[in-house]
Structure 1
Amino acid sequence: MSGFAKFVRYYADREPVVVASCAIGAVAVVLPLVVVPIRRSLGLPTDQYDGPKIPAYIQKSRGHLTTPSDE
């Protein structure tokens, strides 16, 4: 058994709440890295991760917002 595994096993015995909260935190960090590619491969929207799709008439504006009828 490696030194890190021994440390985790010992620490889990001494401070189980700390180890559990670190595990939950690790899952929270890894989850977006796993879920977003799966959603993309299934064709589901990922706007909340990538940001909304901005229409071209708003993207190119520099202070004056045009409407689709102005173009």
Structure 2
Amino acid sequence: LRSSIGFQDQDVVKPLLSDAEKDLADYNTEIARSNTAISTLKYKRTLLERYLTNCRSLLSPIRRLPPEILTLIF
């Protein structure tokens, strides 16, 4: 009612509206894919951080002590 678009002009606007709605759906799909990819990357990063922690613990100074000394201490 507030628009100055005439009835004949609606035929021009409808395809534009349809294209914009399709583009919006495509963007939403791509955002969902990206969020899934980000979640996967974060999970893999967490696994790698745990792996690094475990590897670093293998290099800790206490591991260089002979088992006999460790049994005396603990």
Is the pair's TM-score, using the shorter chain for normalization, greater than 0.5?
Answer: no
Greater percentage in helix: 2
- Between 1 and 2, higher relative CO (CA 8 Å, sep ≥ 6) is seen in 1
Higher gyration radius (CA):
2
TM-score by length of 2: 0.33
TM-score by length of 1: 0.34
